[in-house]
Amino acid sequence: MKNLKLKSARAAKDMSQQALAEAVGVSRQTINAIEKGDYNPTIRLCIDICRALDKTLDELFWQDG
């Protein structure tokens, strides 16, 4: 399932996939795969992404319904 919340939060902070990737220590391709729903990140990576975007785990990774 695509993670549109992550993409939206990243865009709201005016961060490119590359900038977010550098902030959390992964490749741009990893961020792209998470946003496309092709990769299920570890909880550690989820937490790092949330910190970089000033969001909670629920705000970015909880799937409603």
Task: Map out the domains of the chain with their CATH numbers.
Answer: 4-61 (1.10.260.40)
User: Mean pLDDT across the stretch 41-65?
Assistant: 92
Task: Give the angle subtended at the CA of 9 by the CAs of 60 and 45, to the nearest 5°.
Answer: 50
pTM: 0.92
**Model pLDDT, residue 62:** 85
pLDDT tens track for 10-47: 999 999 999 999 999 999 999 999 999 999 999 999 99
**Model pLDDT, residue 65:** 53
Q: Is the per-residue pLDDT at 64 higher than 70?
A: no
57: Cβ contacts below 8 Å, ≥ 6 apart:
46, 47, 50
Query: Is 52 in contact with 24 (CB distance < 8 Å)?
Result: yes
**Model pLDDT, residue 1:** 81
Phi, psi at residue 39, to the nearest 5°? -140, 130
CA distances from 37 to 20, 24 (A): 17, 18
